Structures are given as C-alpha cells and as structure tokens.
Structure 1
Amino acid sequence: MVTGAGRGIGAGVAEALSREGYAVALTSRSRDQLEETAARCHGPTLVLPADMTGPGAVDLLLEQVERAWAAPEVVVANAGAGVSASVERTTDEQWQQMLDLNLTAPFRLLRRTIPAMKRAGHGRIVVIASVAAKLGEPYISAYTASKHGVLGLVRSAAAELARTGVTVNAVCPGYVDTPMTEATVQGIVDKTGRTPQEARAALEAKQPIKRLITVEEVVEAVLTCVRNGGMTGQGINVDGGGLQS
C-alpha cells in the first residue's frame, strides 16, 4: 500500500514495487492521478481515492484492501505536504494541517497495519519523511515539527517491533524534483520576486551536489528498506550529502 501515490515520489514507489512483483494498493485524493499511476504499473493495482486526514479514512482504506486482497505486507506512508511561514505568521490552521497530514495520518496507518504484520511475522513500513526531520530551517516550523515527530514515531515503532519480523524506517529526502518542490519554487517567486530559475537554483544550492534529488534516487532508498530485514529504526538521508549522519 502506497499513500500519496498519484504523483512524485509516491507514484515512483508504486511503479517500482509493481515491478518487484507486488500487487499495489494506491491512494491519494486525486482519482485521475491514481489512474495514471496504475496505468504505468506492471501488475495488479487497487485505486482507492481518499483524504488520509478524514475521520475513519485509514480504517476504511485498509478494510477495502483486506476485502480485495489481504493485509498489506509493505506500507509506504508518502502522503504529505508543506507550508511556508515564519513562526509568528503560522496560523493555527496551518499548524494543524501539517500535524494532521504529516504526523497523525502516518501514526494511524502504522497503528492499523502493525497487528496483521505481527501475526504474519513479517512486514515492511517505510515513511517518507524529510531532512527537515533532522534539521531546522527558517520559515517551515510547522512542517519541520511534523517531520521531527514522524521520525520519532518511526524510531519508537521500530524499537517495539524489533523482534517481530516487522521493520520500520524513514527515508529523509532533501529537495526532490517533484511537484511539491515546484510549489516551493512558486512560493519563493511570490514572496521574493525572484524568477523561477533563480528560485530553483537557490534550492539546488542547498545541496552539496548542486542539483535536486531525483524521484528514482528516493525510490531506491525505499526499496532498500523493503528488501533489507536487518535495517530498522533508520532515517535514511537522500539529500546529496547535506546531512552526513
């Protein structure tokens, strides 16, 4: 099961898991985007549009997957969003939006999927976090707080499940060449008057490799988490060397 599977990293992960031989349940808010992802997959798919922050949404999604197939063996919690504002200009609504989508939704997903994985004696959970899970940057306090929180969730869950055959890891990308980063570029343009090219160059310059990370590079890290049963509780940086930990 892959959340946020309509585009960007989620779509790339879904397609890669399909190539690995998995039947893949796809969810995001846009049916059209999910259908496009499903068309690029090599094997069986379920298209399940949903808002992960909705009341009971996670339970409903898992019930649909279990009725159609079985409890998921691999769960990739990718759905997420960002917001930019200084601390004093961050509204309660923005703060809550970041916590609901980036932290509470993954928590509910783990809580719902862990019992079946424990019974099976095998499972792989991967949360797409961010380098913001480890580092504070200006103007993204709500986003950073939610990502710090979700990395803590991953580490605690991994410690609990270490002897069960279930692994829990996070992948922590830097700036990735995705629609979410394009929205960041547009935000910089709107607030600073820079050109899109200048704004994009500023993001590229934050990473030692001086370019954006590709979706494929993030997908490879996710696949490593799926394949390697000896790796759990990790926050794997895919950021061009910006955080050396």
Structure 2
Amino acid sequence: MRLQNRIAFITGGGRGIGREIALAFAREGADVAVAARTQGEVEAVAKEVQALGRRGLAVRLDLTNRANIRQAAKTVLEHFGRVDILVNNAGVLSKGPVHTLGEAAWDFTLAINLTGIFLVTQSLLGQMLERGWGRIININSSSGKIGLPYRSAYAASKHGALGFMRSLASEVADKGITVNAICPGLVDTQMWDTSVENFAAEMGKTPEEAREMFRQRIPVKRFTGAWELAPLAVYLASDDAISMTGQAIQLDGGFLQS
C-alpha cells in the first residue's frame, strides 16, 4: 500500500472529487479526516473510510470562518496526532460580468478558493515542518491557467491559488514537503451539473444540449470523472513523488495542452 499509516485531511471531502480521493487514500492504507460545511455528507464518507478498514473522521469546516478553520485543524491533530497529507479540495464556482459582479460574490469566491487554502495550509504546515515530511495537494482548475468570460472571480481565485502553491513549494522544497496542484477541466460532478443548468438557461438551451456543446469542445469527447483524479492524488501523496513539487498538473481530456 502506497500510503500505509499516513494521515490525510481533505477539505470538501463530502462528495465528488474529495470523496473519491478520500476513499482512494483509504484503500492505499491511509487514515482520513474529511471536512466540509455539510456535516451529513462528511459523516457518510467517514463511515465509508471506516468500512475500508481505516480510521475515518468527519469534521465540519466553514472556510469563511477563521476560528472554525483553526478549530477544525486542532480537532484533526488531537484525534490523529498529526497530518501527513493535506488536500485542499473545497471550492465554489461563481459567474457574472465584471460590470455587474457584486463585491460580496467576489469576496466569497476568493475566501473559499484562495484565502481558505492559505488558512488551512497555515494551520497544518508547522507540524509537517517539525517532522520534515508532508504532502500538500491543491485541487485547482483549467481556470487557474486561462481566462474565460464571466468567470473573473473564479479565475482570479484559481490563478492566485496556483501562485500560492508555487511559492510555498519553493519555500519548503528542502524540508521534505512537496506542494502540487491538480488542474482538471470539466469534471462530471454536482457542481458542474449546476453550472450546465445555468449555462443552458442563459443560452436558451436544454441542459442536455448544453452538456453536449461542452462535451464537443473536449478533444477526448468526454467529461472527466471525479474518480480519475484519485490515482493522481495517491501518487502525489506518496513517497514515489519525492521530486514532484511546484507543479500544476493538467487533467482535462486535452482541453489545454502544455
């Protein structure tokens, strides 16, 4: 097992990508704390982790609340004694033209997608430095590398998160800690389903028509499954990835090509 007896903490772990990574980590021998705003969802995932024979912990996490972030980190550290692997997966998708985008929407998007990553990482980095080992994986997006219309807040938050990742990777590169990002394109999740419905309403199309339009833009002609990110996350979290750091890895069916 590639993650035997490692301790992982995953934000946004109650569904979609976060859930798939949590279960993949458990199958590889890790104990997993999953955190999200929706307590019922993370409790269900924690039980799935336990069913795989590993310790699972559900933690309520509100990334707009600094005190709650500190408390969540404290809870996980008290329960497991340490955190070896941090996956910053929680995120929100916002849209709207710049000239009408409200400050509240802008602030909320950056609070979750950028400041939240900083605060959670800061809360757990010290104990990684003390032990000289750690893996930090941020789930980013193609929007962290390009700009798309009506996605200014989302793109700004994701571009910022990549800058943070690269800077931190350089800061801790000689301390046994790697920091990387996975940048998926269009992933078949509940968040994407909601986005498709919004796009369809704006374009006067049915959700099925909108989905097909987006599918045709992907070279492989299929949406990425949430499960597809899990094996890559396992690799990045393992000892095998000792020389992989500061990288924003594209996993998007060829939508963006390096």
Q: Does 1:244 align with 2:257?
A: yes
C-alpha distance after superposition, 1:84-123 (max 9, x if no partner): 1111121101110110000000011111111111111100
Normalised by the length of structure 2, the TM-score is 0.92
The letter for the 2-side match of 1:207 is: I
**Counterpart amino acid of 2:197?**
Q
**Conservation of the 8 A alpha-carbon contact between 2:33 and 2:46:** no
**AA partner of residue 249 (structure 2):** I
Query: What secondary structure, in the 3-state scheme, does the structure 1 residue paired with 2:224 have?
Result: coil
Cα pair 1:62 1:71 within 8 Å, conserved = no
CA-to-aligned-CA distance 1:25-80 (integer Å, 9 cap, x gap): 11001111112212322111111112122131221111101111112100000000
Instruction: Establish whether residue 89 from structure 1 lines up as the match of residue 100 from structure 2.
Output: yes
- Preserved contact between residue 34 and residue 57 of structure 2 (Cα < 8 Å): yes
The within-5 A match list for 1:118-197 is 118-197=129-208
44, 69, 76: which one pairs with 1:58?
Answer: 69
Report percent identity of matched pairs: 38
> Corresponding residue for 1:202?
213
Is the partner of 2:86 in helix, strand or coil? strand
Alignment root-mean-square deviation, CA: 1.0
- CA positional deviation for 1:193: 1.9
Structure 1 Cα separation of the partners of residues 63 and 204 of structure 2:
34
Cα distance in structure 1, aligned partners of 2:143 and 2:27: 30
Q: Which residue matches 1:48?
A: 59
Instruction: Give the match for residue 103 of structure 1.
Output: 114
Asked if 1:16 is matched to 2:27, the reply is: no
Match of 1:30 among 38, 43, 52: 38
SS in 1 for 2:34: strand
Deviates more, 1:171-180 or 1:37-46: 37-46
CA distance in 2, matches of 1:162, 1:33: 35
TM-score, normalised to structure 1, is 0.97
Matched position secondary structure for 1:58: helix
> Runs of 5+ in structure 1 lacking a partner?
none
Q: Which residue of 2 aligns with 1:69?
A: 80
Structure 2 portions without partners, runs of 5+: 1-8
* Whole-angstrom distance in 2 between the partners of 1:242 and 1:12: 22
Alignment of 1:234 with 2:247, yes or no, is yes
Q: Which moved more, 1:31-40 or 1:80-89?
A: 31-40
In 2, Cα distance between equivalents of 1:204 and 1:220: 23
Q: Which moved more, 1:144-153 or 1:88-97?
A: 88-97
Runs of 4+ residues deviating >4 angstroms: none
Secondary structure of 2:187's match? Answer: coil
